[in-house]
A and B are shown apart, each in its own frame.
Chain A
Amino acid sequence: GQQVMQIPQYQHVQEGEDFTTYCNSSTTLSNIQWYKQRPGGHPVFLIQLVKSGEVKKQKRLTFQFGEAKKNSSLHITATQTTDVGTYFCAGQETGSNYKLTFGKGTLLTVNP
């Protein structure tokens, strides 16, 4: 079955440093989604990428979808303490019209 790998598992940064998490799928995806889960909270949708090579920005967050539609990355510029949480990627396999396969997530902690 489809597998989605995400690295690193943990990342600790000083406030103001950049942060990147990477996601790789074993199969080609129709789209990839990113979610954020704050400590004690539940995953919340951030963004979706659909097109090969697509890049989207949300303020300090930059999301990329690979040309082969099998990998993605999330980059945060100049982290803030409010960025703390676990970031999950979730891939929807080509041919599936509802099932999402989540990566294991990257837990980001930010030292003020």
Chain B
Amino acid sequence: ETGVTQTPRHLVMGMTNKKSLKCEQHLGHNAMYWYKQSAKKPLELMFVYNFKEQTENNSVPSRFSPECPNSSHLFLHLHTLQPEDSALYLCASSLTGVGTEAFFGQGTRLTVV
């Protein structure tokens, strides 16, 4: 247990569905991240939030919409996804500062059908 909790652990959704992934940490971290991990592109950084402000969007399609209501919670809202979006979605958090390690959640295994 890393202190970063992701729900759900597994999700199957149709291309017309809307779903949300949730990430929660109570480690006192102020930076939170969404990563996509697939066979083709391991650990692809999607979004970064620092002190609730989005600081990075790595050219992610608009069908992925992040939300960070506070430093402890991070969401990834999904709508009209494509089968190629099937992947493991990992949330991570860290302190802000030089040399701070990232703590990963166990991930949500997403399958788009």
Contacts and interface: CB of A to CB of B under 8 A. Distances in A.
Interface of A: 30-31, 33, 35, 41-45, 48, 50, 86, 88, 90, 92, 97-102, 104-105
**B contact patch SS:** loop
Contacts of B48: 98-99
Nearest to B103: A45
B79 to A, nearest CB: 25
Interface of B: 2, 31, 35, 41-43, 45, 48, 50, 55-56, 90, 92, 94-107
Contact of A97 (B2, B41, B56, B98): B98
A44 B94 contact: no
Nearest to B31: A98
Contact of B107 (A33, A42, A50, A105): A42
Nearest to A42: B104
Contacts of A42: 2, 90, 104-107
